[in-house]
Structure 1
Amino acid sequence: MGEGEGVESSNQPDTRISSPFLWRGDSYPSILDSETPDHLDRIRDLGIPYIFDIHTHFFPETVMKLIWRWFDNVNWAIGYRLPENERVGRLHHNGIKRFTTLNYAHKVGMASSLNDWTYTNYKNWEGAVPFGTFFPEQGVLGYVKKAVEDYGFRGFKLHCEVSKLNLNRPELADTFLYLQEKQIPILIHTGTAPLPGEFTGIEFFKPFLETYPKLCVIVAHMGASEISAYASLLDAYPNLGLDTTMVFVDFLATGKAEDMDKAVSYLERYQDQIYFGSDFPNIPYNLNHPITRLLNLPISDFAKQKILYQNAENLFFK
């Protein structure tokens, strides 16, 4: 893969024509040029001081450009192909004053250096909540402890599809037990959408959770496209949560429209275990789109407060 050039929305692939991922109806929200955060008054009326986005990505520039090139190859438009400081400005512009620094490794020897890079840079991103990552390799527990005890990281990110990661690998047991004891959250992309992987899906996740029942885990994309299977675990595992990343939007990369509509009821029932996430900057629509869509859902104001702000605030700063 090469490196992409340019930051203007006109350079984006046209997902209306050839994307393998569908849009709801004729929806195609514009990117960047018409961004208007008209949700800010609405969140203030709900008593939400700011939005806490639990699913935002930060990588070294060379790695981020490689990721964007992958998305280009599947004609997935990157809505915020901008320099890093401008991306942070877009988060603030949309009322997102706290956000995570998610990245992940796909090969041996990469995770520790990503953690070092995050630690060196995250203080430049006002509102950033530092997250690390890890990989099944020699020394993993040591650099995870360093990230927690020396760097002060608040959580970790794993991506089972990209990393070809089986969560049940025995060489990660000591690391998971350590994070369980410390109650450090792990945000895990374990679902089968937008693309399945060798070790994605509830069949791998459920035995993992049974092994570490008190581990604080947040499932990205609500486990799409197996939302009901992941949601069925919430009653039995109070430390389990789901994030809303790319679920209740008009871009249907995480499942069918009817499945997304059925999932709305989980937001009310499990309002204490659901977290707002955007997948910024790798989204093919304006950042206000997932926020407004969530605000428009038929759920209580209390649920909206918890999902957009309070749950993450309690998890990391209580």
Structure 2
Amino acid sequence: MTTTPGPATDADIPGYLRALGIPGLADIHVHFLPQQMMDKVWAYFDQAEQHYGRPWPIHYREDEDSRLARLRGFGLAAIPSLSYAHKPGMATWLNTWSRDFARRVPGAVRCATFYPEPGAAAYVREAIDDGTRLFKLHIQVGGFAPDDPLLDEAWSALEQSRTPVVIHAGSAPLRGQFTGPDPVRRVLGKHPDLVLVIAHMGMPEFHAFADLVPDYPGVHLDTTMVGTDFTNEFAPIPRDYIDRLPGLRDRVILGTDFPNIPYPYAHQLESLARLGLGDDWMRAVLWENGVRLLDLPSGS
């Protein structure tokens, strides 16, 4: 089994992709937000030592055009604009901004979010009908249960349309009242055909979230921050979990959390390569699975 060493720097990414024989990257976990909201997110991370007990310097604190240029230089075939709501009324504002982002940015993936509130089902259906291809929820930041009854009809609409939802439900870097695999399993018990992408592979509950994969055909795991030097300090990937990953190859998809990461983008790719799972596994995770889930042209 051949494992090509991952890129040491961002400048090495295109050469690494050529060595793997893939035309680009299909990253499902990228954030673009209204600037006033992005500024608040960055201000929060500036105080990371108060929240997490460790600094979290934003590596790509740049304007929107610069960030878009970087991602295109890395080889992203499509660019998501993931956002998430933490109070009533916020989702519709974010969804309008994300719609406009997708209209003005070539190659953007139309994204949306939702929140447990009256009308959630209606605006989720509207977003789907209007071409939304990817949704995002953050359970700890949002402070709500994913199985809240106010979300039942929204989940039904997403299940019926098979629209993927990236859901941050793991308990890292901060545990929340509703984080962990059990609420997600309850959602899937009612909506077994949902396409759910478990952000960060559900760290630190790696195994419990992976246990959902064989039971539900739409459950995937994204790689966001997994195995990096930064997260290995507080949520290390277990050795026996790495041993499970070859069997999960078709259900693991690249995610990075760009731009809100405290290291270069290349480090995520390098961290996955150093797991030693082989180039076939890397090709599936970095390209093939994301192309399928985001419905991209395979030769992008």
TM-score, length basis structure 1? 0.85
- Provide, for residues 7-32 of structure 1, a one-character-per-residue CA deviation record: whole Å limited to 9, x for no partner: xxxxxxxxxxxxxxxxxxxxxxxxxx
**Secondary structure of 1:290's aligned partner:** helix
Q: Identify if the C-alpha distance between structure 1 residues 208 and 255 changes in structure 2 by more than 3 Å, giving closer, same or farther.
A: farther
Q: Please show how residues 270-281 of structure 1 align to structure 2 within 5 Å.
A: 270-281=248-259
Q: Find the partner of 1:92 among 63, 69, 72.
A: 72
Contact 1:224 1:255 in 2 (8 A): no
Higher helix share: 2
Q: Find the partner of 1:309 among 267, 276, 287.
A: 287
Unaligned runs of 5+ in 1: 1-33
2:195 matches 1:216: yes
- Residue 12 (structure 2) aligns with: 38
Query: Offset of 1:296 from its aligned partner?
Result: 3.0
Query: Offset of 1:208 from its aligned partner?
Result: 1.6
Query: Offset of 1:226 from its aligned partner?
Result: 0.3
Query: Offset of 1:102 from its aligned partner?
Result: 0.4
Query: Offset of 1:216 from its aligned partner?
Result: 0.7
- Residue 188 (structure 1) aligns with: 167
Size of the alignment, in residue pairs?
283
- Residue 137 (structure 1) aligns with: 117
Query: Offset of 1:260 from its aligned partner?
Result: 4.4
2:149 matches 1:170: yes
Q: Please show how residues 146-161 of structure 1 align to structure 2 within 5 Å.
A: 146-150=126-130, 152-161=131-140
2:149 and 2:103 map into 1 onto residues whose CA distance is 34
Query: Offset of 1:316 from its aligned partner?
Result: 2.1
Q: Identify if the C-alpha distance between structure 1 residues 46 and 155 changes in structure 2 by more than 3 Å, giving closer, same or farther.
A: same
Off by >4 Å, runs of 4+ in structure 1: none
Q: Find the partner of 2:220 among 227, 236, 241.
A: 241
1:270 and 1:73 map into 2 onto residues whose CA distance is 36
Q: Which has the higher contact order (CA 8 A, sep 6+)?
A: 2
Sequence identity of aligned pairs in percent?
38
Contact 2:172 2:235 in 1 (8 A): no
Query: Offset of 1:53 from its aligned partner?
Result: 0.7
**Secondary structure of 1:156's aligned partner:** strand
2:232 and 2:136 map into 1 onto residues whose CA distance is 20
2:191 and 2:35 map into 1 onto residues whose CA distance is 35
Unaligned runs of 5+ in 2: 1-7, 49-54
TM-score, length basis structure 2? 0.90
Q: Please show how residues 48-87 of structure 1 align to structure 2 within 5 Å.
A: 48-74=22-48, 75-87=55-67
- Residue 267 (structure 1) aligns with: 245
Aligned-residue Cα RMSD (Å) equals: 1.7
Contact 2:171 2:179 in 1 (8 A): yes
- Residue 291 (structure 1) aligns with: 269
Contact 1:53 1:278 in 2 (8 A): yes
